[in-house]
Structure 1
Amino acid sequence: MDPERFQKNAMYVETPEVFDAEKNFDDDGRIKRTGTLTTASAHIITAVIGSGVLSLAWAIAQLGWVAGPAVLLAFSFITYFTSTLLADCYRTPDPVHGKRNYTYSDAVESVLGGNKVKLCGLAQYINLVGVTIGYTITASISMVAVKKSDCFHKHGHQAKCSTSNNPYMILFACMQIVLCQIPNFSKLWWLSILAAVMSFAYSTIGLGLSIAKIAEGAPVRTTLTGVQVGVDVSASDKVWRTFQAIGNIAFAYAYSNVLIEIQDTLKSSPPENKVMKKSSLIGILTTTLFYVLCGCLGYAAFGNDAPGNFLTGFGFYEPFWLIDIANICIAVHLVGAYQVFCQPIFGFVEKWSKEKWSNSEFINAEHEVKLPLCGIYSVNFFRLVWRTAYVIVTAVLAMLFPFFNDFLGLIGSVSFWPLTVYFPIEMYIKQSNMKKFSFTWTWLKILIWVCLIVSLIAAAGSIQGLVQDLRKYKPFQAEQ
């Protein structure tokens, strides 16, 4: 590999130094990766724990004390199990010494091939785009919640403190435009660690406020089966809400669509699959602990009247400064989480464009710019224009359809089955040359079909909720 040629064409940020091929490049000619167990775990926690963690009290309220925690634990086990299978598909045909697959789609193409690659790409990139739009909305809601919290503190809880989300979506988009110009996913390790710290902070605040509310001893109604028919909801609403709750929990655990990309940041020694399995275990155990605590303690605090999100939905009003801190932490976390989910999209489009127009100077040429404290930054005009345009489009869609968070539940329920269950299991079966109708083959196939049914049920509930949102939708109205 010619270092000068690599310096001219690669996407990277480097301080000036004398390049040593062995020191700076992996065996496949790409720049040497520096990811570790810590950074990969941070990426996973950042990807999995979103502001939706604080809506789990509502999900537990729909399912009750028995089914709620059981569904949470079931999804955590399935997600961890399939993530270990997927980690072995990063290199093929051998999980330790085989050829690297840089993206999820590359792994599917290498192992399964055919039309399954197109199906995988469609599911993955629809999900990733949906998440980035949803995070734009959710971050703006948290920013608005800070302003509303101060308003309620000053004028009373009954005051009409309405504020438009749009200016905050624009602010969030401006931050993302800057961060998106960091061309190498592995360079964002610091952002993921910051985001992971923020997720712990606001989750802990939510837990603390829930415990404080429980300690107050205010009477709340909780039941083994959740919201009661005839008391809290109608029979049909109970069914739809149950389905929606399952969809929310399924989406909360979905990070498989970026697992390969996260694994591609790890150093080659020790073997990436072993480190990734440990990172997945740390990430899933951590998030499940927070999910169960937030969901169960939130339900204990609010009972069957649990709000959709007790920090942005004002389950709590005081202490207002602590609620402000929590919502700021949510917004900062989503700044990092947005990057975790958009980087695979950027990588796919830029790789495809370079192959399609290999002679285009606009797409391929790198221009060195010296930045204070950062050394030399490599500017690519196509990367600059395309990534900026993507952030602007997602922000505009978020402003046009602010109910998109509910639609995100539909995307989560639809993408959970193919990306978290179907492809990891099918690739594992194919790569291990497993015998048809053997015991392991049979129960893995049963798991695929059971998860498909659950995903379809959750999707049906999400569609029903989306229809209700559309009926109530009033465009360009300030958030009430």
Structure 2
Amino acid sequence: MQKFGDQNFQIEGCESGLEIHKDGNEEQDDDGKPRRTGNLWTASAHIITAIIGSGVLSLAWGVAQLGWIAGVSTLVIFSGITLYTSGLLADCYRSPVTGTRNYTYKEVVKNNLGQVMYMACAIVQYANLCGMVVGYTITASISMAAIQKSDCFHTRGHEVACKVSHNPYMIGMGILQIFLSQIPNFHKLSILSVVAAIMSFGYSSIGVGLALAKVISGKGERTTLTGVEVGISLSAADKTWRMFSALGDIAFAYTYSQILVEIQDTLKATPPENKVMKKANIVAVSTTTAFYMMCGCFGYAAFGNNAPGNLLTGFGFYEPFWLVDLANGFIVLHLVGAYQVFAQPIYSLVESSAKTKWPKSKFVNEEYVLGIGSNERSKFSINFLRLIWRSSFVIVATFLALLMPFFNDILAFLGAMGYWPLTVYFPIEMYIAKNRIKRWTWRWLGLQLINSTCLLVAVAAACGSIQGLNKSLKMYKPFEVME
């Protein structure tokens, strides 16, 4: 124990920095912020919630475009790249000189690469995050509508045109997110993330199981080493565009770097955050890769070169209809949690800026505790800034989803533009700067090879998404989503 003035403080040395806390006050961390309680498993749940989206069910289509050799190789390669660059980013969480915490991705970039890169990172990161929440609103509505269509097909037959409007489902998703948006921060999202992660395993397992059952029954369709073949129904140019899109889909399916630092900031200071985060990266990426391989490979084996864009909402399977409905329900529950995981950094940006600018404002800073009885678990706090700002954000995101039902094409473009800088470029450049790696050394050349390869993939995927966006605009009708 060491005495400072009239108070006793305990100083604990750890590789990640010094944690100093006041005797009898276990609610604050070394920097005066609320004490962090995250661990390996909560961090893994946050990552899995973010990384395994319903896009996992489109991987069969991706493998179909690339074929067995290129498709499987791409899954493995991007798994390795993501794991490696995420480890580099985790090591940058503490500032290189002072050892203090960086609470957000952009702060990590600022302290390692300077102000210009900080601004560039902030623009790309928040554009990507905003796009994700709008895209998740649309995707959740597609799964909800798929449940209604599945019941229609079961009742009236598979050949009947069961048209369903997505708009009511988007509005319902928005209303639910207004309530969930009042969860204060990442620290309080653990239960929601765990439930969402379980849901992702649920619908992925159902998709894999249905595909495997079709293969075992001998009803699997023709597959090839090089994927979809050029012919009467597919030109060489279309084949190339599809391959670009497939590469992008697989690369972006592993993307979660834009929220990695925010997740790492939930971890306890001991053991060192970077070591725990690296283990969480391994757990999450390994688990994700296993599911991706099963969904991609079994789905391709079942449907061959005619694999649908989504095994469950694209009606690759009609029966058993109740199982398809259950899987789509799991997708919705997962996206409800994933929405909040991606929205939290956006909420935090505005609220932290407001608190810095107006430190004495009750509207900005005051918490009003509500609840029934004396049980602490039944109580929750309301902050007027949080209530108004977050509700407004959700309403705008829902409106954009209703206005632009083809937003998934825009999201693909944002993903293409955000993947390379956030997942590859910034982590590698920070690692080079932090370790003072000299130009033209073997290590520098190896890192730049990864950098340039991923840049080419991002550019190719962006071209593919622009072509898809061009097609969608030709059929665009505002506020009309009928499938």
Question: TM-score under structure 2 normalisation?
Answer: 0.93
CA distance, structure 2, for counterparts of residue 244 and residue 325 of structure 1? 29
CA distance, structure 1, for counterparts of residue 84 and residue 133 of structure 2? 26
Q: Which residue of 2 aligns with 1:4?
A: none
CA distance, structure 2, for counterparts of residue 317 and residue 130 of structure 1? 31
Q: For 1:130-163, what per-residue CA distance to the aligned partner results, in whole angstroms no more than 9, with x for missing partners? A: 1101100011111111111011000000112111
Kindly state the Cα deviation for residue 74 of structure 1 after the two structures are TM-superposed. Answer: 1.1
Kindly state the Cα deviation for residue 176 of structure 1 after the two structures are TM-superposed. Answer: 1.0
Q: Which residue of 2 aligns with 1:379?
A: 382
| 1:472 lines up with 2:475 in the alignment | yes
Q: Whose RCO is larger (CA < 8 A, sep 6+)?
A: 1
Q: For 1:324-354, what per-residue CA distance to the aligned partner results, in whole angstroms no more than 9, with x for missing partners? A: 0000000000011111100011011111122
Kindly state the Cα deviation for residue 454 of structure 1 after the two structures are TM-superposed. Answer: 1.4
CA distance, structure 2, for counterparts of residue 219 and residue 319 of structure 1? 17
Q: Structure 2 matches for 1:177-196, cutoff 5 A?
A: 177-196=178-197
Q: For 1:254-301, what per-residue CA distance to the aligned partner results, in whole angstroms no more than 9, with x for missing partners? A: 100000000011111111100000000010000011111101110110
Q: Which residue of 1 aligns with 2:463?
A: 460
Q: Structure 2 matches for 1:3-152, cutoff 5 A?
A: 22-93=25-96, 98-152=99-153
Contact 2:36 2:266 in 1 (8 A): yes
In structure 2, the CA distance between the partners of 1:259 and 1:150, relative to structure 1 (3 Å rule), is: same
In structure 2, the CA distance between the partners of 1:249 and 1:323, relative to structure 1 (3 Å rule), is: same
Q: Structure 2 matches for 1:113-262, cutoff 5 A?
A: 113-218=114-219, 220-262=221-263
Q: Which residue of 2 aligns with 1:401?
A: 404
- Code of the residue aligned with 2:159 in structure 1: it is Q
Contact 2:214 2:220 in 1 (8 A): no
Contact 1:232 1:304 in 2 (8 A): no
| Equivalent in 428, 441, 444 of residue 444 of structure 2 | 441
SS of the aligned residue for 2:26 comes to helix
CA distance, structure 2, for counterparts of residue 23 and residue 114 of structure 1? 35
Q: For 1:377-420, what per-residue CA distance to the aligned partner results, in whole angstroms no more than 9, with x for missing partners? A: 33211110000011111111111111111221111111010000
In structure 2, the CA distance between the partners of 1:431 and 1:384, relative to structure 1 (3 Å rule), is: same
Q: For 1:52-98, what per-residue CA distance to the aligned partner results, in whole angstroms no more than 9, with x for missing partners? A: 0001111111111111111111111111000000001111116xx81
Q: Which residue of 1 aligns with 2:355?
A: 354
SS of the aligned residue for 1:24 comes to coil
Contact 2:86 2:427 in 1 (8 A): yes
Kindly state the Cα deviation for residue 433 of structure 1 after the two structures are TM-superposed. Answer: 2.1
Kindly state the Cα deviation for residue 305 of structure 1 after the two structures are TM-superposed. Answer: 0.7
CA distance, structure 2, for counterparts of residue 389 and residue 20 of structure 1? 41
Unaligned runs of 5+ in 1: 1-18
- Code of the residue aligned with 1:462 in structure 2: it is S
- Code of the residue aligned with 2:74 in structure 1: it is V
How many residues are matched?
461
SS of the aligned residue for 2:371 comes to strand
Q: Which residue of 1 aligns with 2:392?
A: 389
407-416 or 438-447, which deviates more: 438-447
Contact 1:142 1:330 in 2 (8 A): yes
Q: Hey, which bits of structure 1, 4+ residues long, moved more than 6 A?
A: none
Kindly state the Cα deviation for residue 478 of structure 1 after the two structures are TM-superposed. Answer: 4.3
Q: Which residue of 1 aligns with 2:321?
A: 320
Aligned CA-pair RMSD: 1.6
SS of the aligned residue for 1:301 comes to helix
In structure 2, the CA distance between the partners of 1:271 and 1:213, relative to structure 1 (3 Å rule), is: same
Identity of aligned residues (%): 58
Q: Which residue of 2 aligns with 1:334?
A: 335
Kindly state the Cα deviation for residue 436 of structure 1 after the two structures are TM-superposed. Answer: 2.7
353-362 or 156-165, which deviates more: 353-362
SS of the aligned residue for 1:99 comes to coil
